[in-house]
Amino acid sequence: MDTQSVITRTSTVAGGRFAPGHLGELTQLVPFEMVDEALAQTRTVQQRVRDLPSRVVVYLLLAACLFPEIGYSGVWRKLTAALGGLPIVTPTPSGLSQARRRVGTAPLRWLFDLLRGPAATPRTPGTR
């Protein structure tokens, strides 16, 4: 008897203007709960409500790695291209750079460490 198994995966994604397709598919690959945890663990959550919340800045920086040739403004346009008609901010290039400096590298380092898994231990020469 030939049987098939189906494996399904359920993901919680951001809603509204930060839903999948709006911040690219990054919110499906790196869920917003994971980004929020990285921000909490590195103490980089914004202290006040901003047009560019720390969570969004992390996604901007992740996307910037995919499109290094177009700068932060170009990446922002790609991330918000599907928002058509929703009210969004249009930050200046200097505003995007300031947001990047505000968030810093710690949350990205934390995410990288989480996603890569435990570090491999170096092999001792002569062992398998």
- The pLDDT value recorded for residue 128 is 53
Question: Minimum mean pLDDT among 78-82, 99-103, 117-121: which range?
Answer: 117-121
- The pLDDT value recorded for residue 120 is 59
In the Cβ-directed half-sphere of 99, how many Cα atoms lie within 13 Å? Answer: 23
Residues 6 or more apart whose CB falls under 8 angstroms from that of 59 comprise 23, 24, 26, 27, 30, 35, 79
Judge contact between 11 and 28, C-beta under 8 A: yes
Count CB atoms within 10 A of the CB of residue 38.
24
pLDDT at 23 exceeding the cut of 70: no
pLDDT tens digits, 62-100: 988 888 888 889 888 888 877 777 777 888 989 899 999
Give the three-class secondary structure for 45.
coil
